[in-house]
Amino acid sequence: MSTPPSPALPDSPSSKGKTVMILMVIIALGMVVSFNWMLSLQRQKAEDRLPMQGRVETDPLPAWLDQNGKERHLEQLKGKVFVVSYLYTTCPMGCAGIAEEMQKLQAEFGGDPNFALLSISLDPEHDRPEVLKAWLDSKKLGGENWWFLTSPDGKGDAIRDWMTKTFRIVATKRPPAELEKNPVDKFDHQLVMVLVDAQGRIRTPTDTNSVYWPFHPGHDYGWFPRPIREDIVKLLKEAREGGA
């Protein structure tokens, strides 16, 4: 006579608890992975978007003078991606550093006919074309598509106002008391760059940040998402493909 099979033993409470715990861990890990993936997509979308914050509408001067005394007009840059920055030749702080960063961009992108650089003097009263030329030669800076611009009349107020309104690059004259201590340190200004696309639109790294900070020690998504060169690559590609 065969022995009837023993009835199955019910799962113990501890076994059920382990199963529930494992399922909860799996669900939690899935949520974390999904969240990180969605965040990555959002960041990538923001980086690819390059927000537009204004347009280069007008020239502040009837004509500029470059380092060779040649007249220049911003209309000549139509169809080009270009980078704008301030400098002045007696600056004791970071202007030479900004120029060196621009030189790196020139070395990388200067061979592209759709690319240009503008370094605009904060101090046209002093920085006449021959002064700019001597300063550039001493530092071995420059290139065919890199303009160092000053005003024909040696006045700077209109230029500084235009730079603030158009590019949001702020520069202020130092008060007389500070100038007495250091006469060549004439301006308090930002060490930044601005990027303009081939259609004259100012393109920015984020919705809240309108300039690029080349001397920031690191890059993070909120304020300093990436070096400017990465966005130059994007805009040159955009220009070749006929715009955004």
Domain ranges of the chain: 54-240
Please give the pLDDT value at position 37. Answer: 53
Per-residue pLDDT reduced to its tens digit, 65-114: 999 999 999 999 999 999 999 999 999 888 889 999 999 999 999 999 99
What per-residue confidence (pLDDT) applies to 7? 57
> Which residue ranges of the chain lie beneath pLDDT 50?
40-41, 44, 46-47, 221
pLDDT for the residue numbered 173: 86
Give dist(CA 240, CA 70) in Å, integer.
29
Q: What is the pLDDT of residue 11?
A: 55
8-state DSSP, 198: T
pLDDT tens-digit series, residues 206-218: 777 778 877 765 5
Quote the CA–CA distance of 82 and 228 in Å, as a whole number. Answer: 11
54-240 is a CATH 3.60.10.10 domain? no
Q: Whole-prediction pTM value?
A: 0.75
Give long-range contacts, CB 8 A cutoff, 24+ apart: 129-138.
Answer: 129/65, 129/66, 129/67, 129/68, 129/69, 130/69, 131/89, 132/66, 132/67, 132/89, 133/67, 133/68, 135/89, 136/67
Residues 6+ apart with CB under 8 A from 9: none
What residues contact residue 160 under an 8 Å CB cut-off, 6+ apart? 122, 171
pLDDT reported for residue 41: 44
Q: What is the pLDDT of residue 215?
A: 72
pLDDT at residue number 72: 95
